[in-house]
């Protein structure tokens, strides 16, 4: 279950370790940091697999990073249709940058809090 939870959230293991070792609940990284991690992950996939296979393999990973964010479904569709590495990179910028500018935080936090009864419906 931890493996599935870490899809698109590679920082999750560090959060779990912090909770187990120190009893603290580490916050999700800021959306700008999440984007930076995604772009690094994307570049490493292209480097490791080559451009064409890397783009195909990266699609699901890019989708996981956007899960729970506003308009992420449309973003995932666009990424799944992109055929060049530069196009995917541009889509990532076009999706994340406005959210970062608006101060949007990861919606996963909001969903988690809703599950704990902290957000009114």
Low-confidence residues of the chain, pLDDT below 70?
Answer: 106-121
Domains with residue ranges and CATH for the chain: 30-115 (1.10.1200)
pLDDT tens digits along 66-93: 999 999 999 999 999 999 999 999 999 9
Burial of 42 (0-12, 13-18, 19+ CB in 10 A): buried
Q: Residue 78, CB half-sphere, CA atoms under 13 Å: how many?
A: 15
- Give Cα separations from 1 to 4, 6, 13, 86 (angstroms): 5, 9, 12, 33
pLDDT at 83: 94
pLDDT at 42: 97
């Amino acid at each position: 279950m931890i493996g599935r939870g870490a899809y698109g959230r590679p920082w999750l293991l560090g959060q779990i370790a912090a909770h187990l070792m120190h009893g603290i609940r580490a916050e999700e990284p800021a959306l700008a940091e999440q984007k930076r991690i995604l772009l690094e992950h994307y570049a490493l996939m292209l480097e490791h697999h080559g451009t064409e296979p890397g783009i195909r393999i990266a699609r699901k990973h890019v989708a996981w990073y956007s899960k729970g964010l506003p308009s992420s479904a449309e973003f995932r569709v666009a990424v799944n249709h992109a055929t060049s590495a530069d196009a995917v990179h541009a889509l990532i910028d076009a999706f994340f940058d406005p959210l970062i500018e608006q101060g949007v935080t990861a919606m996963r936090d909001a969903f988690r809090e809703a599950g704990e009864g902290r957000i009114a419906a």
